[in-house]
């Protein structure tokens, strides 16, 4: 199934801020390109290029190139650490699984992702990030993320 477009979702651990990117296929190269693109605006502001301390991934083949995912494109230092959840242990990635469930309100599982526009995906991301959540004391992920980067 590596030839089909997919959505790459990253959920920031503290604020639960969601970032969604459409990738053309589920390959390690596509995931690495998407993460490089996500990091670029933030990494230029930081001397080491380390934006995310860690990424916890499932065991899909798209995450097999750990060296490319951990390496910074802006220097020789590591950009992040990659951890893998145990097989069949979605509970180890609970925030991400819950967020994917929220995305499926808009894009049901099995939908043709190639038909999703960048604007539509951005609207879904914005809606989820602006949704007050009990786990966040009824604040939004966007509010908490802004507070976190301002600190």
**Domain layout of the chain by residue ranges:** 6-150
Tens digit of each residue's pLDDT (9 = 90 or more) over 25-78 = 999 999 988 988 876 655 555 544 445 577 888 888 888 888 888 876 666 666
Q: Is the pTM of this model over 0.75?
A: yes
Third-level CATH fold of 6-150 = Nucleotidyltransferase; domain 5 (3.30.420)
How many Å apart are CA 127 and CA 118, to the nearest integer?
Answer: 14
Q: Name the token pair of 148.
A: 């976190």
What H or E segment, with its residue span, contains residue 55? strand 54-57
Closest by CA position to 34, among listed 5, 12, 59, 77: 5
The average confidence (pLDDT) of the chain is 85
């Amino acid at each position: 199934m590596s030839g089909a477009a997919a959505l790459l979702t990253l959920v920031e651990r503290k604020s639960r801020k969601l970032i969604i990117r459409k990738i053309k296929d589920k390959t390690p190269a596509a995931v690495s390109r998407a993460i490089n693109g996500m990091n670029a605006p933030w990494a230029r502001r930081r001397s080491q290029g380390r934006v995310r301390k860690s990424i916890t991934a499932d065991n899909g083949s798209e995450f097999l190139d750990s060296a490319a995912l951990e390496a910074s494109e802006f220097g020789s230092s590591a950009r992040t650490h990659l951890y893998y959840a145990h097989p069949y242990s979605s509970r180890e990635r609970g925030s991400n699984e819950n967020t994917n469930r929220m995305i499926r309100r808009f894009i049901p599982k099995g939908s043709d992702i190639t038909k999703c526009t960048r604007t539509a995906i951005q609207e879904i991301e914005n809606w989820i990030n602006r949704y007050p959540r009990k786990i966040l004391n009824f604040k939004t992920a966007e509010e908490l993320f802004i507070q976190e980067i301002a600190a």
